[in-house]
Amino acid sequence: MTGRVAGKVAIITGGASGLGAESARRLAKEGACVVLTDLAADAGQTLADEIAGAGGRARFMAHDVTDEAAWARVVAGTRDAFGRIDVLVNNAGIGEGEPFLESTLAGWRKVLGVNLDGVYLGMRAVAPEMAATGGGSIINISSILGLVGFPGATAYCAAKGGVRLLTKATALELAPLGIRVNSVHPGFIETPMVANSLLASENGNEMKEMLISRHALGRLGVPREIGDGVVFLASDESSFMTGSELVIDGGYTAA
């Protein structure tokens, strides 16, 4: 097997669509064995079959990232299938938002449960497995909205900002175990999550044009551009990076 991550075993949460699916394709193309997890079982299995049909090694597992017992099953299933865990991509997330003064505690907890608790649970479940085999790379998908604010997205911003500093804190603790922990901060990317948010908006076309105008490169990103960053962080090419932020945002945060 050849490739930039040849022989590595990677878990990708939220792997059935969007950034997770493209990250899984890119990792598999570069030689990794991939375990896709998601609540969308049909789409997840279809993607695993697609990767296998292209010559890769892939498995799908249904998974709720907010369930600690489900994480134990994913870890055990990955170990049984491929023998080890080298890479964790904490990608699963939801983009629900509402104006702050109309927000509810239930809505707040739902967003933080998936977007922040799920990352914590994933790292807590996988890190001991990585340590036992000499280390690994944990890649937490945050957002530019973990760096800057955005109206109507208070819970999302809080969660993604939490992922940013959770990444840095765990990077310091896990470095002696050979485990690197980094965060990725995408700009607005052409994914189902962004498309659904625009559809739910009263003026979706105007909102899209506004978002495009805030990216210095004059367009939204595409999933492959984030997947390429994930491959870099999963590979030995990034061996001196931990606690870092990989911002892939078309210049959104440059101004």
Positions marked catalytic: 156
Element (H, E) at 247: strand 245-248
- In degrees and rounded to multiples of 5, residue 158 shows phi and psi of -60, -45
- Of the candidates 209, 197, 214, which has an alpha carbon nearest to the alpha carbon of residue 97? 197
Question: Rounded to whole angstroms, what are the CA distances from 118 to 4, 100, 144, 160, 238?
Answer: 28, 23, 19, 12, 24
Say if residues 245 and 185 touch (Cβ distance below 8 Å). yes
DSSP string, 106-171: HHHHHHHIIIIIHHHHHHHHHHHHHHHTT-EEEEEE--GGGTS--TT-HHHHHHHHHHHHHHHHHH
